[in-house]
Structure formats: structure tokens, C-alpha cells
Structure 1
Amino acid sequence: MGWNSWDCYGSTVTEDEVLANARFMAEHLLPYGWDTVVIDILWYEPAARSHGYNDDPDVVLDDHGQLLPAPNRFPSSAGGEGFAPLAAEIHRLGLRFGVHMMRGIPRRAVERDLPIAGTPWTARDVADTSSVCPWNPNNFGLDHDHPGASAYYDAQVGLLAEWGVDFIKGDDFLYPYQAREIAAYADAVEKSGRPIELSLSPGRELSMANLPHLREHSSMWRISDDLWDRWDDIEAQFTRLARWAPESGPDGWADADMLPLGRIGIRAERGDDRVCRLTPAEQQTMLSLWVIARSPLMVGGDLPTSPRATIDLLTNRDVLEVLTATKDNREVLRDGHLVVWTATSTAPQRPGSRYAAVFWLGEEPQRVTLPLLSIGAGDSDVVTDLWTGRTLSPDGLGLPLELDSHGSRLLRLDDDR
């Protein structure tokens, strides 16, 4: 659970903005489990811009082709300090620190033919110039038939570990699926000696045939392309999560992408400065789906300037318990616009409790009467709406629910016997 700079600042975030969000998180969200701050793409480009990428940009490199923070945006990195001072400050707040990394080696390192640290080889020796990310061509892939390729990743992750990085968002690894690149990067993480979480992106057309490999080499993996504050984006995740969620667990988590909640688009890739355009019901539905599916939670809005209602969504302890203390999470019913998920509590204080998430994907509000047996409930169960805290009363063998357009109810079922 954490914050990522992408939805609000795109590739342009600064040290002051990162620290403002970290301090807000430490004060207001850390008690609820939000503990990770991630700087997204191009922190090494001095002239990075919003609404797209610069063509053939200058990036900050050391003498071995390793990326360094742009000091005009991250002043504490000057003098070769890298992210160590910023990471130390974030750790002092009780938080973890993460960065985005693109697959491969920077083009600029290859153009300059910089030496690979600790080896007799250079960047040109290890680059696979035929392997280029289609949406950000700043890097070449690595030729893993050459021993210097793994040495480059070892040096890169070693430097991140030295700075105190706890989380790496590895991008351009999954579309197309880069099995050898993933394995080499995961090996570098292991060699670093630091317990770094590795998250892989983007998840477009990700096949479950890759599940064993993903579990072996990463902590979490995206299951879709970028998600924004559009209902169509949220609705599309229902099918993906129904497929992936039953396979999520401590050996790896399917990631439905960042939550575009709060104030976003300040200097982002998509759209202008705005508050999340999803309706309140849609925002609640998104968060309910993410927690019942146990997707990692990364919020994308600028926390200090987001509405109070956004912070309230992120700090409901009963809702977050569904994310952190459940098992057997799965979709159990899909009938037209009606979708139902269930899960079982693993919280020691709730033996025998179960959860149900009821979603209405239709455009008009709807009243439904949900058969108790369809969610594994009995007539002795106490049904609590986790968003309102209210106790709901079954009507005979059914549970009547009023559902907004694109709305949901997240329920806990406690046996009262």
C-alpha cells in the first residue's frame, strides 16, 4: 500500500513534491498501513515534461552508464549522493522508498560506449539494439547471451540498494513478455542483499501461462495497461481480476494498477489538473473491487491537495482488513450487470467471518434482493455494510440492496450464534 507520483506528476515530479506526499502519508495514512512512496519514470531526466516524453532526451548518467537523479529536480542528489539522502528522509518518516526503472540500458550509455562496472565490457557489448520499448525508446534491451548483461543489472540494482531503495517498479518487462530480462533483473535484486520488492509492468495481454515464472521472479505484476479515471477502465478490471485474483497470495500478487483518486493530472501524461472524474459510487466500487481481489493498492493522487473524501476512502479500517486478512477471494456470481465476490476472513479476531462484495455495473440505479445462499450467508448472520458501518436486515432468505449506477456494497457476515 503506497503512493506513486505518476497519476499526478507524470515524469516531472520533484523532491519537494515527493517529500510533501511522504510527510502527509506518514501523518495521515501510515497508521492504516500505507507505507510506500514511489517515484515514477524519468527521475533522471532534467527536462522531463508533462503530456508525453521528449525525443532522445539527455539523462544523467555516472561513468558506468548507471542512471542518477536529475539534481535540478532532486537537489539532495547533487555531488554523487544519488537518492540516498531522500531515501534516508523517507525512512526516517517510517516509510519505504521506491523508484521506477525501465528495462535495459540507456541509449546514451550505448552511444558513449560507457564501461560496465567491474567488467572488461562496455555498453555496446551488452546492448540488444533490436529490443526497444515501443512507447519510450530511451533504452535498449540487454543481450543475455553476453555475460556483461547481467553484470549491468547487478550494478544497477546494487546502486539502488546502496541508496536504500525498497521497491522497484520495473517497466517494459511484460508486453511483450521478457522472460530472460525478468529473470536477470530478479537475480540482480537477490544479489543486492537488500529485501527489495520487484513489481513488473505493464500487464497488457498478460497470459496466466506466465504465472509460475512471475511468482518465481517478482512480488507483484500488473494485469492491464495504465488505468485512468474512466469507468470503462474500471469495468474492464472485473474480468481480469476474476481470472487472476484466485491465484494471488504471499507468493505473488496480481496488480490492477494505481488508484487514480484525489487530485491528479497536475503535470501528468493524461489530462489536465483535476480531481478524479469517477463518481463517488464508482470510486467506492473501484476500491471495493481492489480489496476483495487483494490487488496491491497504490494511490496516484497528490495527497496534500486531495479532497477529504478521498482520504476517508483510504482510511476505512474495516475495508482495508478485506485486503490484508482474507482468503478464498473469488467471483461467485455474474448475471448481466450484477457481479458478486466472496472471501473468508483470516483475522484472528473474526473467526468464521466472511465477506461479500456486490457490484452493479449498470447505468441506472437498481434494487436487488440477493439470495443469502449466493454469498454463503445464513439467517443467523449479522450483515454489516463496511462503508457505512450500518447493519443490514435480510428479508426472509434474501438481502435487499439499493445499488447506485456503477455502485457496490461491501459486506461482512458475522455468525451471531
Structure 2
Amino acid sequence: MLGVAQPAPVAQTPPMGWSSYMALQPQSLENEVRINADYMAQTLSAHGWQFVLVDYSWAYPNPPEDNGGNPNQSRLANGDYVPLLNMDAHGRLLPDPRKFPSSKDGQGLRPLASYLHGLGLKFGLHVMRGIPRQAVRAKTPILGTDGITADQIADTVNVCPWLNHMYGVDMRKPGAQEYYNSLLELYGQWNVDYIKFDDMGQPGNPSVYHKEEVEAVRKAIDELRRPIIFSVAYAQPFDNSDHLRQHANLFRISNDAVTNWEQLKKQFDYGAQWSTVASAGHWPDADRLPLGWRPKRNVPGEAFTDAEQRTRLTLWCMLKSPLMLDGNLPDCTPFAASLLTNDEGLAVNQEATNPRQLSRTDDLAIWVSDAPDGQTKNVALFNLSNESRPVTLTLSDVGIPKKANIRDVWGKAYKGQFKKTFTHQLGPHDAVLLRVAPVQ
């Protein structure tokens, strides 16, 4: 529109940051978020890490010692919901002041955002699709309408199967778009930079895709005219890729992050398909990266070996997935820290183009992408088997007809000059990331 400032384009490279999900679970406390943000600012931000995402149930009043599963609400015989989520008069959730004390006196999450911005970081927020069931019960008025109430826009059929806080929003109803507009207006007031909308799909049921609500969020962000990254979860089938690229910046390609080796192997299949639609402002999201530490809460942690962690980060970098760390950052191991501060490796995620899987068997995989100079190739060799194996790269397969200088990126070691082929011995479940530069 002529004369109206347009927001800056977002997610021109895959976002890099941290999510509170695994470390803190739904009991995220503000001081713990700040501790992780401090670590990021002091140790990781110089290497491109900048987003701090407060994950789900920040409005739920569960105590930090509650280490149970998803914090669902119960319904009393009279129809009331317990415990009540913190909510304003227009059916918009607010942070629980016990967990986020700086939110008192109606300040919401703006003080936390200000703290993060003061560190040079950016603020992300997890949001569930829909409208709170307790708002529907209370018939709260929708902001920006003439008396339309929450019960008049609720979709009580299409609900989240794993968290019972919300009903869907029936986008055919008057007031539905105004509700989503009011949400984004609130998040804009909090200075949110990144919003992850969950339950836009359904685990184990790829036929479920709430496209009308995806479109509603996109429209609300556009009307806000503030640069906000829009991330869509849950996993989506590739058939929805065109719609996702049109409306979202990030889109999940699998269910919740893999927790064992067989699930990690499956990411190669998803990645090979979704890498074809990666472009500036639109990135396939392979989900979180719980590298090198245990969660802070008393919940099961990841059990990946160093080799498997290297494989995981290498695939995420080659795929150009967002890189969202998961775990208590101050407990990061020296090995993981060496990966997360390797600027050459992270540049593959941030700067490369045309990512693609070159070859794949059940035991081996080779990925390639193009470096910014237009000649050098980033090449990842993966041993997916349970035994040590040699993996051979044929240089002509990546467009280098004669000789190449080859460097091990994670190992920070020059491997030498090679003709026609390069063979590397890899341990089980391990990977090597190479820069392959043609010799003229």
C-alpha cells in the first residue's frame, strides 16, 4: 500500500535459537528462561543463535515440581474448567504470574521480551490453535466485534487430541478473523518476534490440516504490519507444501523430534522430499535439536551418542532446517558446544543453496548443497548402519570433473587434494561434513 511502511521480510535464513520445551516442560519459569538466554547471549549469539522460544502452557498455573505429562484441564459437574488458565476479558491467554512474575499488573510477556531484546536476542512464543474452552464457557466478548462472543465462533469438533485447553475456531463465523487479529495484536504489544502455532495438524493423522486457521493467522500477522516469523506445527504431508509456503515461514515435516536412532533415520526420507521447497522465508522444520545435555526437569532425556548428535546436526544443516536447541543450555557438553560454535558448519545451514540428497541406501546417504561462491560444494557423508564403513564420494557426481581440495568442517582439518573420488571411513551412525572446492 502506497505510503504505508511494509514490515521487513522475515526468516531470510533458517532461524537459530532455543526452545524451553524439553528442558523446562510446561512448567517453564521466567528465571530459568532468562538463565538460558544469558547463556545464549554470552556463548552462542556471536555464532548466529538468537531466538528464545517460551514453549507451551505458559498460561497454565502448574507448579514447577509438577513433572507429569501434558497439563490438561478438568471439568466440574457444573461445567466449569479447573484449573483456570490466566486469561483476559476477551478470551486471550495471559502468562501465569507465578511462573512469569514480571507479567504482573497486566504487562504480559513484554518485560521478558524487553530483557531478551536487551541481550541482543529475539523472543519466540508457542501458541495453541483456537480459543480457550473456558472463554467459550464464559462467553467472553471478541475484541473488535459488536457483541460477538467466544461461544459463537467456537469449533467444538476439531480439537487438539493431546491438550484440552482449546476449541478450534470456525472461520466461517463472523468474529472468527477478529479473534485471531486480537491475538496477534496482543502478541505485537508484547514485542513477539516468532510465533509457533501448534495443533495446525495432528500426530499420526496426516489428513488433518487446519488450513483456514493457518490462513487466519497469516492474515492477522499481515494486518499487524510487524515482522513476525510464523511457524506451523504439527507435521504436515508434502501435499500441503504449496499452501504452507504461501502462508507460513516454517513448517514441521515430522512428528515431535526424534528420540531414537530409527526415528532419526526416518528424517532422511522426510528431508529428501521437503528440501526441494526450502527457500528464503520458507523453511522445512525438522524440529528440535536436543544436543549434548539432559533436560532440567525430571523427564527422560535424549540418549544419542556423539556420533549420532553429529549426524543429526549435519542433516539439519544440509536440509536448511531451523536450528532450535532443546535442553538446559548451561549443561551443554563440550562436544556439543564445539558443534554449536563452529561457524563454518553453521554457514552451511545459513548460506548454502540447492540442498539435495544425492544418494541413499539403507546403510549410506550422501547430501550436497552449493556454497555461495557458486563452485564449492558442501557434501555430507552419512553412515546409517550399525558397523564402521567406508563411504565414497565421486567428485563428478557433485559437478567437479577433475580434482578437489577437501576439508573436514566439524573436524576443522584439511584432508588433502583428491582426484575423481574421496573415501572416508565412518563409524556407525556417524557423519562427516566436507567442503569440496574444485581445483582449476
| TM-score category, normalised to shorter length | over 0.9
**SS of 1:282's equivalent?**
helix
1:159-197 C-alpha deviation (Å, 9 max, x unpaired) = 011010000010001231101010011111111221110
**SS of 1:10's equivalent?**
helix
Unaligned runs of 5+ in 1: none
- d(CA) in 2 for partners of 1:110, 1:14: 28
Shift of 1:53: 2.0
Aligned to 2:36: 21
- d(CA) in 1 for partners of 2:317, 2:139: 47
From the superposition, tell whether residues 83 and 248 of structure 1 become closer, same or farther in structure 2 (CA, over 3 Å): same
**Residue type matched to 2:319 in 1?**
A
**SS of 2:26's equivalent?**
coil
Shift of 1:236: 0.9
Listed as ranges, the matches of 1:26-41 within 5 Å are 26-41=41-56
1:293-329 C-alpha deviation (Å, 9 max, x unpaired) = 1011000021112222222111111101111111111
Moved more, 304-313 or 57-66: 304-313
Corresponding position: 1:12 with 2:9: no
Structure 1 stretches of at least 4 aligned residues deviating more than 4 Å after TM superposition:
none
Aligned to 2:385: 362
Contact 2:395–2:401 (CA under 8 A) maintained in structure 1: yes
Q: TM-score, normalised by structure 2?
A: 0.90
Contact 1:99–1:168 (CA under 8 A) maintained in structure 2: yes
**Residue type matched to 1:209 in 2?**
D
Aligned match for 1:222, one of 228, 252, 272: 252
Contact 1:167–1:197 (CA under 8 A) maintained in structure 2: yes
**SS of 1:60's equivalent?**
coil
Shift of 1:42: 0.3
Unaligned runs of 5+ in 2: 1-15, 74-82, 203-207
Contact 1:322–1:345 (CA under 8 A) maintained in structure 2: yes
Aligned to 1:168: 195
Q: What is the total number of aligned residue pairs between the two structures? A: 408
**SS of 2:175's equivalent?**
helix
Contact 1:281–1:407 (CA under 8 A) maintained in structure 2: yes
Shift of 1:353: 1.1
**Residue type matched to 2:55 in 1?**
D
Contact 2:404–2:419 (CA under 8 A) maintained in structure 1: no
Contact 2:392–2:423 (CA under 8 A) maintained in structure 1: yes
Aligned to 1:402: 425
From the superposition, tell whether residues 376 and 290 of structure 1 become closer, same or farther in structure 2 (CA, over 3 Å): same
- d(CA) in 2 for partners of 1:369, 1:128: 55
From the superposition, tell whether residues 393 and 400 of structure 1 become closer, same or farther in structure 2 (CA, over 3 Å): farther
**Residue type matched to 1:244 in 2?**
W
Aligned to 1:126: 153
**Residue type matched to 1:7 in 2?**
M
Listed as ranges, the matches of 1:180-195 within 5 Å are 180-195=212-227
Contact 1:360–1:366 (CA under 8 A) maintained in structure 2: yes
Listed as ranges, the matches of 1:82-97 within 5 Å are 82-97=108-123
**Residue type matched to 2:72 in 1?**
D
Shift of 1:394: 6.0
1:67-94 C-alpha deviation (Å, 9 max, x unpaired) = 0000000000011110011101100111
**Residue type matched to 1:5 in 2?**
S
1:230-276 C-alpha deviation (Å, 9 max, x unpaired) = 212211100000000021111411000000113233227xx43x4x4
- d(CA) in 1 for partners of 2:273, 2:427: 25
Q: TM-score, normalised by structure 1?
A: 0.94
Corresponding position: 1:50 with 2:80: no
